[in-house]
Chains A and B, each alone.
Chain A
Amino acid sequence: MPTKAWLVARRELLENIRTKAFWIGILVFPVILVLAVVIPALLENSKSARTYAVVDHSGWLLEAVSQRATAAELASGRGDDGDPATHRNFRRVEVEGEGEARLAELNRRVAAEELFAYFVLGEDPLHNGANNRYVSANLTDESLRNWFLGLASDAVQERRLAAEQIDPEIARWVQEPLIFETRKVGASGEEEDVQATDTIRQWAPVAFVYLLWISIFSISQMLLTNTIEEKSNRIIEVLLSSLSPVQLMAGKIAGIAAAGMIMIGSWIGFFFLAVKIIPKLLGLELGFDLGIIATDPIYLVSFVVYFLLGYLLFATLFVGIGSLCNSLKEAQNLQIPVTMVLMVPMFTMIPVAQDPNGTLAKVLSYIPPFTPFVMMNRAAGPPTSLEYVTTTLLLLLSVAVTLWATAKVFRVGILMTGKPPRLVEVAKWLRAPVGSVPQRRE
């Protein structure tokens, strides 16, 4: 009776939807997406202006830097508070005093974090460019140093050119680097321009593999935990007095699959929202078109299909493992081999993305546990239709075999207490006829 399996599926889904983990799973993707965009911008804006001081022994360099800073700020339309040494993030302060006493005071202020950094400019920067110092307590944030260095170098360069009576235009020409334009050969066999979308195409699959991996793994994990819950609190026997083990197993797998589909469905929905609708509403112009991922079926369709197939394969394995164990701890030990297998597509993710139709990618595609991840990974290739068909058939076949084997193991394991069986025992169960129960040595 399929209706009993359906009841089980419904309960699994409802129970899952009520857990915090499920909602965290749903929210984690949009939150990460938003944070990835917003946080850097926020950080940039909220960075309090860094204060710095300059001890100028040259007598002219600081003045030249200030002029250039003001010009640059005016050109970019930002600096408007009239202070020539103000960059939107950097603010110069005067420090009184002379000689050693002044340096001691500067050091004290840097140590007390009143001052972010100070510069000491050497006496004759035109002839001795190495005689300058940058002193700070924070050596990881180099933005102030680089900004000041850029302006000071330009100022010195200008004076050197003037001293040698060289035309700045000529100097620029001398320094001009070579440029290689990157182009690609497109599907038509013609040479084409490379666009930002090409890079996105190349690397989007990597993001999808990550999502695929996280969703398959976390959803299958739910199944493992609640199988063990049913087994360890002995509710399993009550259930089996109402339905068959296969109905129970099918219901559980289907229920959690539904929870998983809701989760990734919400991710996809949010993704559409983020790349298609929100920018339009806000009149924002994204520098690159992520919409290509949202509209090209190869990504989203592969993602959904490979999620389902990969989930079926691993969820079935995990249900089998769950049925053999009495506690999560036992399950974690048995789960290690499966987890290790799951790690392989993670390690090969970058090489496969770089060479989506290479030997490594092709070979891995034909190994069913890797197929969903590797084929997703190769979406930029893309693989040939023949490859899609054969690998999917192989994957379906192994899903069927796993379901069959797990159903047999599940029947026996689910009623078993005591230590989990060894692999050899489990192999025997697979060959035994349905209904027979093997003897166990406790």
Chain B
Amino acid sequence: MQFALTLEGVCKSFGTVRAVDNVSLAIPEGSIYGFLGQNGAGKTTTLRMVMSILYPDAGHIRVLGQDQPEAVKDRLGYLPEEKGLYKKMRLGELLTYFGRLKGMQAADAKRRSHELLHQLGLGEWIHQKCETLSKGMGQKVQVLGTLIHEPELVILDEPFSGLDPVNVETMRHLILDMKRQGRTVIFSTHIMEQAEQICDSIFLIHRGRKVLDGSLAEIKSRGDRGILIDYDGDGGLLHRLQGVERLNDSGKQAEIFLHPDTDAQAILAQLVGRLSIRRFDLREPSLHEIFVRCVGEAESAQGKPRAH
């Protein structure tokens, strides 16, 4: 298997704080790879090192088969977490400029920027200034800015943050399109449901350390099976159930993990008549469950309190 990106024992400190601690990873070409972790876990720092915005203190980063990540900057697309545009520049100009900074010829960059804008229905905005764009449009333009030079590896830092449902949908399609076009996509998020929907593989980082990585299907199949219920009524009851090891209750939906010797039927029997059950489903654990569990284990291994 070809890898778009490999990290070996990468470390980065800010003063005395270890932001990234001995992280090793291999990201296969053509996959959608999710970087998961809480705020401040080290996701952005890792991505910035891949982009040669920061440099690792130790370890080795290999991008697109190159040992010098800086040498392939022009083949990478990067959407930072905090997104901005030059307010006074016109859309077409701005995208052309971004393309040229990535080493494109002026004419190519211009042609491609117009193509992309037309594709996303922003054709009539080519000569408008960026300050006239709505927030959603601005974010589309920023994504286009990372795609203008046809990058082989696209890195999106929190691409979904601050988007409304319609734009989340647009972003999801954009990411899936990138995969279809043969690009490798890495994106970071702290929202597990989003990762679950589109990732092929994930990397879980906590306090700078790798907790878990691998293909999503494999990780899920390794986990304990749990019961997913949709319900109406007093959720407090769920906490008093017999034979339950762990419970993730969201109010209308809950994920229940049983003691090994408890039977799912016994749980159903306890619930019937006391809650109105709309769904009762025995299945693989959610990514959220996997995340909480892994972080919990990592914390107790480090002797620190459990995170939520």
Selecting from A204-212, A238-246, A389-397, the interface stretch reads: A238-246
Interface string of A429-441 (1 = CB under 8 A from B): 0000001111110
Interface residues of A in 1-22 (CB under 8 A from B): 4, 7-8, 11, 15, 18
Partner of A234, one of B15, B16, B84: B84
Residues of the B chain whose Cβ atoms lie less than 8 Å from the Cβ of A229: 86-87
Interface residues of B in 124-154 (CB under 8 A from A): 142, 145-146
Does B301 belong to the interface (CB within 8 Å)?
A: no
Interface size class of A (residues with CB under 8 A): 20 to 34
Bound complex: CA A254 to CA B160 (Å): 37
Bound complex: CA A241 to CA B146 (Å): 10
Residues of the B chain whose Cβ atoms lie less than 8 Å from the Cβ of A239: 101
A423 CB to nearest chain B CB (Å) = 18
Does A128 belong to the interface (CB within 8 Å)?
A: no
Bound complex: CA A243 to CA B16 (Å): 28
Does B85 belong to the interface (CB within 8 Å)?
A: yes
Residues of the A chain whose Cβ atoms lie less than 8 Å from the Cβ of B82: 234, 237
Interface pair B88/A242, CB less than 8 Å apart: no
Residues of the B chain whose Cβ atoms lie less than 8 Å from the Cβ of A95: none
Interface string of A218-230 (1 = CB under 8 A from B): 0000000000011
Q: Given A233-B85, A237-B53, A241-B80, does the pair A7, B14 have CB atoms closer than 8 Å?
A: no
Interface size class of B (residues with CB under 8 A): 35 or more
Bound complex: CA A229 to CA B53 (Å): 19
Does B89 belong to the interface (CB within 8 Å)?
A: yes
Bound complex: CA A439 to CA B89 (Å): 35
Does B54 belong to the interface (CB within 8 Å)?
A: yes
Interface pair A243/B101, CB less than 8 Å apart: yes
Residue of A nearest to B12 (CB): A437
Interface pair A437/B86, CB less than 8 Å apart: no
Interface string of A389-431 (1 = CB under 8 A from B): 0000000000000000000000000010000000000000000
Residue of B nearest to A428 (CB): B15
Does B3 belong to the interface (CB within 8 Å)?
A: no
Does B118 belong to the interface (CB within 8 Å)?
A: no
Bound complex: CA A93 to CA B12 (Å): 92
A303 CB to nearest chain B CB (Å) = 31
Residue of A nearest to B19 (CB): A437
Bound complex: CA A239 to CA B53 (Å): 10
Residue of B nearest to A247 (CB): B101
Interface residues of B in 44-98 (CB under 8 A from A): 48, 51-55, 57, 70, 73-74, 76, 78-80, 82-89, 97-98
Interface pair A15/B89, CB less than 8 Å apart: yes
Interface string of B148-192 (1 = CB under 8 A from A): 000000000000000000000000000000000000000000000
Q: Which of A18, A241, A243 has the most CB of B within 10 A?
A: A241
Partner of B15, one of A230, A241, A435, A440: A440
Does A41 belong to the interface (CB within 8 Å)?
A: no
Q: Given A415-B53, A439-B14, does the pair A241, B73 have CB atoms closer than 8 Å?
A: yes
Residue of A nearest to B142 (CB): A238
Interface residues of A in 130-157 (CB under 8 A from B): none
Does B102 belong to the interface (CB within 8 Å)?
A: yes
Residue of B nearest to A232 (CB): B84
Partner of A238, one of B14, B15, B87, B145: B145
Interface string of B1-38 (1 = CB under 8 A from A): 00000000000111111000000000000000000000
Interface pair B15/A438, CB less than 8 Å apart: yes
Does B209 belong to the interface (CB within 8 Å)?
A: no
Does B220 belong to the interface (CB within 8 Å)?
A: no
Interface pair A437/B53, CB less than 8 Å apart: no
Residues of the A chain whose Cβ atoms lie less than 8 Å from the Cβ of B79: 238
Q: Given A11-B97, A15-B86, A15-B89, does the pair A242, B102 have CB atoms closer than 8 Å?
A: yes
Partner of A435, one of B17, B55, B100: B55
B134 CB to nearest chain A CB (Å) = 16
Q: Which of B52, B79, B84, B97 has the most CB of A within 10 A?
A: B84
Bound complex: CA A436 to CA B49 (Å): 12
Residues of the B chain whose Cβ atoms lie less than 8 Å from the Cβ of A234: 80, 82-84
Does A179 belong to the interface (CB within 8 Å)?
A: no
Bound complex: CA A11 to CA B13 (Å): 35
A327 CB to nearest chain B CB (Å) = 14
List 10 A-B residue pairs with CB atoms under 8 Å apart, sorted by A's residue number. A4-B101, A15-B88, A233-B84, A234-B84, A235-B86, A237-B78, A244-B70, A437-B13, A437-B14, A439-B15
The 4 closest A-B pairs by CB, nearest first: A439-B15, A233-B84, A241-B78, A237-B80
B: which residues have CB within 8 A of A? 12-17, 48, 51-55, 57, 70, 73-74, 76, 78-80, 82-89, 97-98, 100-102, 142, 145-146
